[in-house]
């Protein structure tokens, strides 16, 4: 088992069905809470699927060409599919400051740091959760974040567009933001595959993890 700072780092090959991943993640969260398993950072891909977060609006589902699954994470409609790196995070915030805002801020910073290693300048946007970039063009979303925290254990996580089929996003209003397009490393002309992006995530993970113990006033 590969570890980063005592946390299991798991990379699953191929496409993992969404329901299967959700069940595995839920079971792991229960085990972490019980002290029976280490925390987990799980990197995977899904077959094409639309997921609806707790704030999803029916009108944002334009063309349900793929399975649509309601999920307990925050946010609205999101697409997952091949070429997109999903990272599910089962982390114990009970010993990391108990600050959800700090956690989300840290996740954004992690992705921004990883993208910087691949030559992509990304940033946070006030009032819009996620990771954004211009990179010589219009402002576009390259990474989405949707998390749930239950009994201070985190579930779900992030999705970064490495080289997905961006036309698959047209079946929804991604994250309920019709005025902003989505982009990917491939669309930005970066010759990066999943393994390359994974390596960038691994290199920047320790700083991300150390950032989660924010002061109570953060």
Tokens for 35?
């002290």
CB environment 150-168: b (16+ within 10 A), e (fewer): eeebbbbbbbbbbbbebeb
Residues catalogued as catalytic: 175
Give the pLDDT confidence score for residue 1 in this predicted structure.
Answer: 78
**What's the whole-number mean pLDDT along residues 39-43?**
98
Give the pLDDT confidence score for residue 215 in this predicted structure.
Answer: 58
Q: What are phi and psi of 162, to 5 degrees?
A: -85, -65
Give the pLDDT confidence score for residue 218 in this predicted structure.
Answer: 36
pLDDT at 16 over 50: yes
**Are residues 85 and 157 in contact, defined by beta-carbon separation less than 8 angstroms?**
no
pLDDT band of 119, cuts 50, 70, 90? very high
Tokens for 201?
């995530």
Using one digit for the tens of pLDDT, what is the confidence trace for 53-82?
999 999 999 999 999 999 988 889 999 999
Nearest residue to 86 (alpha-carbon basis) of 49, 32, 60, 128: 49
Instruction: Tell me how far apart the alpha carbons of residues 215 and 218 are, in angstroms, rounded to a whole number.
Output: 5
Tokens for 141?
């979303």
pLDDT at 216 over 70: no
pTM: 0.94
Give the pLDDT confidence score for residue 5 in this predicted structure.
Answer: 92
**What's the whole-number mean pLDDT along residues 88-114?**
95
Give the pLDDT confidence score for residue 75 in this predicted structure.
Answer: 87
pLDDT at 217 over 90: no
**What's the whole-number mean pLDDT along residues 117-135?**
91
Instruction: Tell me how far apart the alpha carbons of residues 55 and 76 are, in angstroms, rounded to a whole number.
Output: 5
**What's the whole-number mean pLDDT along residues 173-200?**
90
Average pLDDT, the chain: 93
Give the pLDDT confidence score for residue 201 in this predicted structure.
Answer: 98
pLDDT at 128 over 50: yes
**What's the whole-number mean pLDDT along residues 119-131?**
91
**What's the whole-number mean pLDDT along residues 133-162?**
93
């Amino acid at each position: 088992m590969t570890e980063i700072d005592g946390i299991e780092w798991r990379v699953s090959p191929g496409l993992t069905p969404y329901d299967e991943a959700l069940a595995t993640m839920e079971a792991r969260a229960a085990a972490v809470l019980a002290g029976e398993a280490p925390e987990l950072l799980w990197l995977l891909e899904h077959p094409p699927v639309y997921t609806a977060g707790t704030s999803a609006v029916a009108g944002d589902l334009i063309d349900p060409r793929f399975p649509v699954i309601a999920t307990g994470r925050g946010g609205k409609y999101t697409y997952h599919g091949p070429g997109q790196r999903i990272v599910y995070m089962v982390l114990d915030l009970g010993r990391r400051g108990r600050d959800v805002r700090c956690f989300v801020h840290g996740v954004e910073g992690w992705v921004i740091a990883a993208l910087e290693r691949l030559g992509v300048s990304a940033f946070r946007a006030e009032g819009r959760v996620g990771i954004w970039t211009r990179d010589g063009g219009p402002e576009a979303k390259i990474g989405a974040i949707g998390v749930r925290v239950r009994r201070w254990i985190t579930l779900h996580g992030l999705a970064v567009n490495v080289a997905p089929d961006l036309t698959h996003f047209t079946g929804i209003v991604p994250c309920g933001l019709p005025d902003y397009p989505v982009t990917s490393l491939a669309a930005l002309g970066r010759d990066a595959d999943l393994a390359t992006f994974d390596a960038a995530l691994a290199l920047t993970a320790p700083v991300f993890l150390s950032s989660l113990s924010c002061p109570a006033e953060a």
